[in-house]
Amino acid sequence: MKKLTLQILFPETCRLDAEQVIEAFRSYHRSMSDVQCEIAYREGILLGTVWWGKHVIMLSGFDVPYPPSELEACVAYYAEELKQRARSHKAHVFLHYSGQEPSPFEQYVALAAAAGVMARFGAIVVLNASGHTSFPAAALSGSDSKSDMMERDIMDLLRTLPLSTLYCGFVKGEVSGIPGVWMRTCGAPLLGLPDLAAHATGNHESERYFAMFENIFGYLRDTGARLAAGDTMQSDEEEYLRFRAPKTDEWYLGSDADLLVIEFIGPNEINRTIAHTRA
């Protein structure tokens, strides 16, 4: 299984101290009370390890900007102010998961928590280059996890994030000569899920397809089912879906074998078996 990675952007040179990192992790969540950290700098490169429970996260940091082409793919849908802050960063740190947690979702939760801790050291944006997506680091910091009415558990919040906000991506694109907009996810196979794509009439349908993809992912995670080309699904009382492989002329969807295209069908076309049981 491919090791999962997040990338953290800093506005200036990032200098981390092991004891300060340990203190920040322990104050982030009670499950990290046993956290340990080692950090060294070799020829200006940050090399570190943070571990707690079954989780181990390797850090590697560089006092140079993240590659611009990969950055743009991750921040394309940001508001202009945050996009400019991301573009003006001066340093970045990779977080690589190297622990014993078998669930890729829980691995991402651990990485997101580590990214939230990095926000306390000035991180501004968390990238998931595999998913072509990103998230403001401050939103993961846990600083707003208390309210007048209750204390919210930051780890529970990380587990309830819509997958396509950080753990995989939701991207849109227009194709020359084809009306409408293609919408798809990126990076879902790293979570053991298929990427999903659909042809929408326009950008105004973004929320509809984002919610549809999330609902399908939720069904697959809750039931342990697997989707394959030819399967069908009833998504609500009046909406029926069929999943197919990309066509040969749909080159713009890429060559990912784990991508399924959604088409709308009538109720008489629904299959009795909507998905395969996970082995």
Q: Is the pLDDT of residue 21 over 80?
A: yes
Q: Where are the beta strands (DSSP E) in 11-101?
A: 36-42, 45-52, 55-62, 91-97
Please say which residue of 106, 139, 161 terminates a domain: 161
Q: Is the pLDDT of residue 143 over 80?
A: no
Greatest mean pLDDT among 9-23, 243-257, 264-278 lies in: 9-23
What is the domain range of residue 223? 170-277
Let me know whether 217 and 106 are in one domain.
no
**pLDDT for the residue 1:** 62
Let me know whether 13 and 144 are in one domain.
yes
Q: Is the pLDDT of residue 147 over 50?
A: no
175-to-84, 125, 202, 257 alpha-carbon distances in Å: 27, 29, 12, 21
Q: Is the pLDDT of residue 144 over 50?
A: yes
Let me know whether 194 and 111 are in one domain.
no
Let me know whether 143 and 50 are in one domain.
yes
Q: Rounded to an integer, what distance in angstroms lies between the CA atom of residue 181 and that of residue 79?
A: 20
Let me know whether 147 and 184 are in one domain.
no
Let me know whether 154 and 217 are in one domain.
no
Which single residue is written with the structure tokens 């926000």? 119
**pLDDT for the residue 44:** 87
Share the mean pLDDT of the chain: 90
8 A C-beta contact, residue 42 and residue 60: no
**pLDDT for the residue 78:** 81
pLDDT digits (tens, 9 = 90+) for 56-107: 999 999 999 999 989 999 998 887 888 899 999 999 999 999 999 999 999 9
Q: Is the pLDDT of residue 149 over 50?
A: no
Q: pTM here?
A: 0.91
Structural domain count, the chain: 2
Q: Which two tokens stand for residue 216?
A: 């399908």
Q: Which two tokens stand for residue 87?
A: 């573009």
